[in-house]
Chains A and B, each alone.
Chain A
Amino acid sequence: MKDLKHALYYEKLLQQADNELVEKSIEDGNIALGYSCYFIPEVLLNLPGCFSTRLRAPETGNIDLGTYYMSSKICSYTRSILERGIEGGYDYLSALFSAETCQMMHRGHEHFEILGLVKKRNPDFFMSMMDVPFITGDAELEHYSSQLQHFILDKLSEVYGINVSDSALLKAIDAHNELCDVVSAIGEYRKAENPVITGYEFSLVQLASLTCPHDLILPYLKETLSDLQSREPDEKSAFRARVVLTGSEIDDPQFIKVIEGSGALVVADRYCFGALPGREKIVVKDGETPLDAIARHYLETSQCPRFMNKEKGQERLDYIENLVREYNADGIICEQMKFCEYWSYERVISNVVFNNEKNIPCLGIEKEYTLTSAGQLRTRVQAFIESLEIKKLQRGTK
């Protein structure tokens, strides 16, 4: 295939947290708002006058400072974010929004407050931490909605004078939906038998959409979508298998490149920072306030293993199974960031349920934030692909 339009530009943008689009938006007078978790609704950080940027720590090397503050037994994503914060890599932020959804991430973000990070450059900088329920229901919706009001909207209004009215929220929802439509449309191409976009390329698109100001990245995404309509796939696919990638935090496209370099095309991205879920349109129902619609949307669409209710637990498994069917995948790779409590259990459950009960091959892997063990990963994925091929052959002979 010829190069995907803007792929190189997306790669360039993803090499820095404060990339040129982020800088341009700040120069234009907008404020940059950082977040890490899906439970902080991206759309609320894209009200007029501000823009969201999901925190990554690209090109991470030594994380000794992060390790000093958090010990070596904490997930390396969290430590890398803290390291970058201490180094001044997020000094462009005006606020950081967080939730006590994960012990490690929330501890990492607390350090921004404890150590006074970013404050020197921007005395108005603040870190805001909210509570998120563990189950879904009407009371949970009310609680979550109230937390969003207090810890995001009220703070933005008080400190930066951001317009948080219903009309501003509706405008933000419209803009958000437009971006989601474009990203989803790009993602749809992955369903084809011989797709015109790889998992790696799609991850560039999705990550760029999460980390750059929406209004500035959207024109590029539209052009990419337009390019895909005429992009010709290779005559013969270079891939030996199709996989759904699930799991915890993945914001390094190189990780997907290694999987695909081993012969497995990543056709669906059900992980933190992925588009499934993440790029569904927000619908405001009749009689619903925009904030309630946003809260409902995020509680409904989230597939985080943190949700304890049985229905949500079953929904998580069904969701992945549906992705396997919908994207015609041969198997699942379930990834877990080392030390992540949520995904360590979810990986156990996925392995047992998919391999033993649903007869869908599932490979469980543990990874660090930086791609330090690419060789091991390659070996494991290759072995998994071989097992998928053997299963295909066995099915064929039967």
Chain B
Amino acid sequence: MDWKKLNPYKNEKGSRDRFYDKTGIAKHREWRGLEDTWYDYTQWVVNLGIMGAFVAKSPVRIARGMLEYRWLGSYLAALHWIDKCMEGLEGPALRAAHIKMHTIMKVSTNHLANMMIGDRRFGPTEEASKQVLFEQTMGPEILAGFPELEPMSMEAFQGLIGTYMDQNLPVFYLDIMADNGLPADSCRLSATAAGVAINDDFPQNGACLIVNNMPCDSSTMNSQLIRRRFDIPELIASLPMRWDDPHTDKYARFQMKRIISFVEKQTGKVFDEKAFLAMMEKHNEEVRREFDEWEYMATPYSPYGGSIVNLFHTAMYAFSGGRIDSVKDAQEKVMKIAEKAYAEKTNCWPKARHRCIIWAGPACYFFHLPNWLYNCWGIQVIAQMDNFEGVTLIPTDSLDAALLGVAKNYEHGIMRRHLTGGYSHLVEFWELARRFNCDMVLMNEDITCKGALGLSGIVNDMTQKYPDIHMMTVSNDMFDHRTISRNDIRKEVNRYMMAVMKEEPLDPTLLDFDDNEGW
């Protein structure tokens, strides 16, 4: 049966007409009115400049990286991905998103360039010994007492960020793990990183490596494969899972002290307490600015939202921890836009019919889902689970207190805070939805995330207690688009919006289309 013949919207015109069938390739740029289209184009050019600056930093090493590492090729889709994250945005929301995206681009390309510059595969380099590798989802705060050293995040680039840009990046690595007998029900994020390790696709950086148990069971296990690929001294940071329990604090703080001693021993550098505490103040300023943003996000006049609000926070957690000035600059610039929009009562999301929080592990290959939700159904995504993770204010009145604060920030880190330490953390979204005046929660059902799936029934039962909030459950396979495709996800949302909410789409051309061949 040809579904298109049955589709009541088949003759409608809309924003999907801009694309070639089955791909994400657009025939022309999106029209948002003269001013916004021009603004969007100029910002696209700025991103191009950031990419150029990235290559210029070390053209030979980056070119060699492109040839050596399969995952690095996916970053060629960066500009295309940025366009996807901007789809449908206009006015203050468009400006806020672009400003934050510039910072994300600067921070990540800088990190990536330094990774290539410090890669021993491409010949000896002094830079390598100035870098300390952090595996998994550990932020850079604990290295703040070593101003000469550079924190280098592993895994995020080889899997997570690349998958945002190119849904086919993880497929190759997942298949490697399948060939080695890893079941497909194991977390896809961890399996991708393990596949990168098996294929020997991790750069060879760093004076030493901090392995850790962040955030969950599968990442604990994939670490045991990944670290075999690094021929540098390693330390395992074992952070308590029961982080709510004050009895675990002493051990958590000890882990931080252990990292400091290890780094001192391996690099010959001395921990600078003053520099550390000063950086933690900056970390706190970043977090406080986020709290300020939350106040605006709760109002109808907020420019924050969509895909970028979540990504900016994740980038800040993973790479900044107070050390990157452009994070502060972006936060302040966007805050001015937010203040103005609020003062003028500007509706920055004019198509919005619902305010929504997205919760639990997302489909990383459908990073721009919030844009689609907004453009197709008028669902404005206010925040996602990651926004509420890694936002710990670190006490700076003593070193001991600060170290515990850093440990807490890790324990509350990305994918850790809500999935470990007790069931009450996972169900915080109900109260957050109310706090941010949302009428809808999109619950991601990552089919491999045991920490969230283990409370499925409890989450469902709680819908009775929160009749004012619609909960839409949507399945995904986190990194593997072959199991649950982007269009499968769209169809699940469509079904809910039509059958339960009894609504008509804003743009019928976005309802059901095949973009499987796209990045």
Quick check: B453 and A351 within 8 Å, CB to CB?
no
B-chain residues with CB within 8 Å of residue A73 when the two chains form the complex? 185, 447-448, 450, 453
Contacts A69-B456, A308-B223; A134 near B247 (Cβ below 8 A): no
Cross-interface CB contact of B218 among A107, A147, A310, A341, cutoff 8 Å: A341
B241-268 contact mask (Cβ, 8 Å, vs A): 1 or 0: 1100101101100100010000000000
- State which of B187, B241, B420, B455 has its C-beta within 8 Å of the C-beta of A341: B187
* B240 contacts chain A at the CB level, 8 A cutoff: yes
Q: Are A74 and B454 in contact (CB under 8 A)?
A: yes
Stretch at the interface among B23-31, B209-217, B274-282: B209-217
B421-453 vs A, CB cutoff 8 Å, 1 = contact: the mask equals 111000000000000000000000101101101
CB distance from A112 to the nearest CB of B (A): 11
Asked, given contacts A100-B420, A102-B217, A103-B216, whether A345 binds B238 with beta carbons under 8 Å apart, the answer is: no
Q: Is the CB of A339 within 8 A of B213?
A: no
A258 in the interface (beta carbon within 8 A) = no
| Contact A74 B238, beta carbon cutoff 8 Å | no
Least distance between B157 CB and chain A CB atoms (Å):
22
Pairwise interchain contact B454-A104, C-beta atoms closer than 8 A: yes
Bound together, the chains give a CA A147 to CA B423 distance in angstroms of 19
Contact indicator A69/B458 (Cβ below 8 Å):
yes
Nearest B residue (CB) for A113: B423
- Say if the beta carbon of A122 comes within 8 Å of chain B: no
Closest B residue to A351 by beta carbon equals B181
Q: A69-B457, A348-B182, A349-B224 are in contact. Are A342 and B242 (CB under 8 A)?
A: no
Which residues of chain B come closer than 8 Å to A68, judged between CB atoms? 456-457, 460
Contact residues in A for B194 (Cβ distance below 8 Å): 345
Q: Which residues of B contact A114 (CB under 8 A)?
A: 423, 458
Q: Is the CB of A341 within 8 A of B238?
A: no
Per the bound structure, the CA–CA distance linking A171 and B223 in Å amounts to 41
Q: Which residue of the partner chain A has the closest CB to B420?
A: A100
Q: By the criterion CB–CB under 8 Å, are A342 and B457 in contact?
A: no
Which residue in B236, B240, B421, B454 is a CB contact (below 8 Å) of A108?
B454
B185 touching A345 by the CB < 8 A rule?
Answer: no
For B451, give the chain A residue with the smallest CB separation. A103
Flag if A134 contacts B236 (CB, 8 Å).
yes
Contacts of B58 in A (CB 8 A): none
* Cβ–Cβ contact A344 & B182, under 8 A: yes
- Residues of B407-426 at the interface with A, using a CB-CB cut-off of 8 Å, are 419-423
8 Å CB contact of B186 from A143, A305, A341 = A341
Q: How far is the CA of A111 from the CA of B461 in the complex (A)?
A: 13
Closest to B423 in A: A110
A338 to B186 CA separation, bound complex (whole angstroms): 10
Binary interface encoding of chain A residues 108-122 relative to chain B, with 1 for a CB under 8 A from any of its CBs, else 0: 101100100000000
A107, B221: Cβ atoms closer than 8 Å: no
Residues of A contacting B217 with CB < 8 Å? 102-103, 306, 341-342
Least Cβ–Cβ distance between A78 and chain B, in angstroms: 8
Contacts of A359-394 to chain B: CB distance below 8 A: 364, 366
Measured in the bound complex, the distance between the Cα atoms of B220 and A104 in whole Å is: 14
Which residues of B sit under 8 angstroms from A131, Cβ to Cβ?
240-242, 245, 247-248, 251
The distance in angstroms between the C-alpha atoms of A144 and B186, with both chains bound, is 28
Of all chain A residues, the one with the shortest Cβ separation from B251 is A143
How many chain A residues touch B (CB < 8 A): the figure is: 50
Contact of A217 with B by CB under 8 A: no
B63 on interface, CB distance cutoff 8 Å: no
Q: Report the minimum CB–CB distance from B120 to chain A (whole Å).
A: 21
Judge whether A150 is part of the interface by a CB distance below 8 angstroms.
yes
**Within 8 Å of chain A (Cβ to Cβ): is B180?**
yes
* Residues 453-504 of B at the A interface (beta carbon under 8 Å): 453-458, 460
Q: Which of B183, B242, B245 contacts A344 (CB 8 A)?
A: B183
> Is there contact, CB below 8 Å, between A107 and B181?
no
For A339, list chain B residues within 8 Å (CB): 183, 185, 450
- Nearest-Cβ distance from residue B382 to partner chain A, whole angstroms: 26
Q: Which of B245, B248, B419, B457 contacts A70 (CB 8 A)?
A: B457
The residues of B that contact A338 with a CB separation of less than 8 Å are: 183, 185
Docked pose: A338 CA to B450 CA in angstroms: 12
When the two chains form the complex, which single residue of A146, A308, A313, A341 contacts B247, counting CB atoms closer than 8 Å?
Answer: A146
Chain B residues within an 8 Å CB radius of A277: none
Residues of B close to A305: CB separation below 8 A: 221, 224
Residue of A nearest to B257 (CB): A139
Nearest B-chain residue to A134, judged by Cβ: B238
Whole-angstrom CA separation of A147 from B180 in the bound complex: 37
List of A residues within 8 angstroms of B457 by Cβ: 68-71
Residues 291-340 of A contacting B (Cβ, < 8 Å): 305-306, 308-310, 313, 336, 338-339
Chain B neighbourhood of A146, CB < 8 A: 247, 250
8 sample A-B contacts, Cβ–Cβ < 8 Å, listed by A number = A71-B456, A73-B448, A139-B251, A142-B251, A341-B187, A342-B220, A344-B182, A345-B186
Additional pairs, 7, CB under 8 Å, beyond known A135-B236, A139-B254: A71-B445, A71-B453, A114-B458, A308-B236, A341-B186, A345-B225, A349-B224
